[in-house]
Structure 1
Amino acid sequence: MRREFLLLLTAIFAIATACNSGTKKKEEANEEKSAQVEETVPDNTLTDAEKQAGWVLLFDGTTSNGWRGNNKDYFPAGWQIVDGTLMCKGSGEGEAGAEEGGDILYDEKFKDFQLKLEWKISEGGNSGIFYLGEEVEDWPIYKTAPEMQILDNERHPDAILGKDGNRKAGSLYDLIPADPQNSKPAGEWNSVEIICYQGTVVHKQNGEVVVEYHLWTDDWNALVADSKFPGLNPDWADVAKEGYIALQDHGNDVWFKNIKIKKL
């Protein structure tokens, strides 16, 4: 009887093991299938689900349609469309070398929105994403707009300047450091997201929330007062409730793709 009982247990164990193995293989096959579906989505396109949700492309991967220079009515020669990316060809002279480049903006103002894009920076490079910016004659857009920093944290001096790392990638430039600091090295793509809704602003970098703050509050005014911005524009804290999205030419090679936005 004991021998028969042991044989029965062995058989049950074998069946359970086979079932678990089959389930695991099925899960692995589903995961592999999902990964393959993600890989086949072309850059600079929207899925049907994104279209239904209200997402709109700001860059089609082949033209500069919708983009122009800050305080210009044309697309600057220092920017190019390269292999499906919107690329700034750096002068190597910082902001001072932007005669044929300069910052570019998308020619539509946005109020409450969710912006997604991917960026890649060259070694030692610096750039940024501006939002809620205003176009003022003879002014660079950073005199009016908050900036999500783009940086090679390993090589650019800004990584050790400012306060507590508030000039590293993903940070609200010179104001709030990205926490956690999860940017990828120069030459690798980073995915970012900026959400603006009724004064609440969120920066996401590579899938994680790294900055959250609230415009037009007492805390916001105190934060700005303790930064370099009042010296650039005494009214800098009065960020516009509706403004431009812009990409920075800081004199270094930088690439952007998959730029899309949804109005909230």
Structure 2
Amino acid sequence: MKKSVLFAGAAALMLCFASCNGGKKAETTETPVEQPAAEAAAPEYKLLDLPTVDLSTFPKDKDGWITLFDGKTLNGWRGYDREDVPAAWIVDDGAIHIKGSGNGEAGAKDGGDLVFAHKFSNFELEFEWKVDKGANSGVFIMIQEVEGQPAYISAPEYQVLDNENHPDAKLGVDGNRKSASLYDMIPAKPQNAKPYGEWNKGKILCYKGTIAHYLNSDSPVVEYHMWTPAWKEMLDKSKFSKDKWPLAYELLLNCGGEKKEGFIGLQDHGDNVWYRNIRIKLLD
């Protein structure tokens, strides 16, 4: 008997609560919890697995310098993302010459970037370069061959440029698109490139993520450190940022892939440029 009275009282209270609120549910002051946005998936891409060469078959001097270009042939070299040498690249008077197409980057009928077909990790790379009037090119390191994409999408670039006559010299920030700069990220200082038609001496030192650029001097003009927060910050401020170019950002953030190694390459930017005396020393 007591139990039924309690139930009846509870029912009456519920009816009263409903009528007092106009039959509506009671309001709540709780703030909905926002769910974190799902992080965008990394862009998809395909890495190619093209032929490489046996570095031990190339001349090596007593100091450990290995000749990558013999001044006569393009032995060891091939096109980026291809197994042969593009016809736009020739040997000319002891130098590798990209014949300018006048059609902009990789615009030659049978052009495109050139790579030495061996992957490097820690090294010193020496080379000489000269440009035609108004010419543009570059030397890449840590290239990953990505199907359908340009070489620079994965590779830091040592800029090669006619600073006086190419408009790129005035673009970018603080001269970071001038010769020997880390393209679009760090300007080469001092800027001591020689005028077009004259040979320049360049060097790139790469050791466990620390990179230094040299130009006509024994002192570095650029230094940076890959795989660090500072490297990410530079990418965030460049044309390769995550919002501007997600795939380039993903690849450059992780330069060299899992093994932290990649190809060395020369850029076809549609202009006449020459390279010679290319040699490398492997570092432990």
Common fold: TM-score over 0.5: yes
**Aligned partner (choices 175, 187, 196) of residue 177 of structure 1:** 187
Q: Which amino acid aligns with 2:150?
A: P
Residue 243 (str. 1) matches residue 243 (str. 2): no
Please state whether the residue corresponding to 1:229 is helix, strand or coil: coil
- Aligned equivalents of 1:227 and 1:102: distance in 2? 24
Name stretches of at least 5 consecutive residues in structure 2 with no aligned partner. Answer: 1-57
C-alpha RMSD of matched pairs (Å): 1.3
**Aligned partner (choices 94, 99, 102) of residue 92 of structure 1:** 102
- Aligned equivalents of 2:122 and 2:249: distance in 1? 25
- Aligned equivalents of 1:160 and 1:83: distance in 2? 32
Segments of 4+ in structure 1 off by > 3 A?
Answer: none
- Aligned equivalents of 2:80 and 2:272: distance in 1? 18
Deviation of residue 237 (structure 1)? 1.7
- Aligned equivalents of 1:109 and 1:53: distance in 2? 21
Aligned to 1:215: 226
Aligned to 1:199: 209
Q: Which amino acid aligns with 1:237?
A: L
- Aligned equivalents of 1:85 and 1:123: distance in 2? 18
**Aligned partner (choices 207, 222, 235) of residue 224 of structure 1:** 235
Deviation of residue 93 (structure 1)? 1.3
Residue 116 (str. 1) matches residue 126 (str. 2): yes
Identity %: 53
Deviation of residue 98 (structure 1)? 2.7
Deviation of residue 209 (structure 1)? 1.2
Aligned to 2:75: 65
**Aligned partner (choices 183, 189, 196) of residue 186 of structure 1:** 196
- Aligned equivalents of 1:198 and 1:148: distance in 2? 18
Cα distance change of structure 1 residues 259 and 96 upon mapping to structure 2, 3 Å threshold: closer
Residue 52 (str. 1) matches residue 86 (str. 2): no
Q: Which amino acid aligns with 1:147?
A: E
**Any conservation in 1 of the 2:71–2:95 contact (CA below 8 Å)?**
yes
User: Which structure has the greater CA radius of gyration?
Assistant: 2
Deviation of residue 54 (structure 1)? 0.9
Q: Encode CA deviations 1:51-100: one digit per residue, 9 max, x unaligned.
A: 11211000000001000000111011001101100000010111152331
Aligned to 1:255: 274
- Aligned equivalents of 1:90 and 1:237: distance in 2? 32
Q: Which amino acid aligns with 1:239?
A: C
**Aligned partner (choices 55, 76, 79) of residue 89 of structure 2:** 79
**Any conservation in 1 of the 2:144–2:154 contact (CA below 8 Å)?**
yes
Name stretches of at least 5 consecutive residues in structure 1 with no aligned partner. Answer: 1-44
Q: Encode CA deviations 1:6-54: one digit per residue, 9 max, x unaligned.
A: xxxxxxxxxxxxxxxxxxxxxxxxxxxxxxxxxxxxxxx98xxx71121
- Aligned equivalents of 2:194 and 2:85: distance in 1? 29
Higher helix share: 1
Please state whether the residue corresponding to 1:234 is helix, strand or coil: helix
- Aligned equivalents of 2:153 and 2:75: distance in 1? 25
- Aligned equivalents of 1:127 and 1:201: distance in 2? 19
Deviation of residue 206 (structure 1)? 0.3
Please state whether the residue corresponding to 2:169 is helix, strand or coil: helix
**Any conservation in 1 of the 2:106–2:112 contact (CA below 8 Å)?**
no
TM-score normalized by the length of structure 1: 0.80
- Aligned equivalents of 1:72 and 1:110: distance in 2? 19
- Aligned equivalents of 1:175 and 1:99: distance in 2? 31
Alignment length (residue pairs): 217
> Which stretch shifts more, 88-97 or 115-124?
88-97
TM-score normalized by the length of structure 2: 0.75
- Aligned equivalents of 1:220 and 1:255: distance in 2? 30
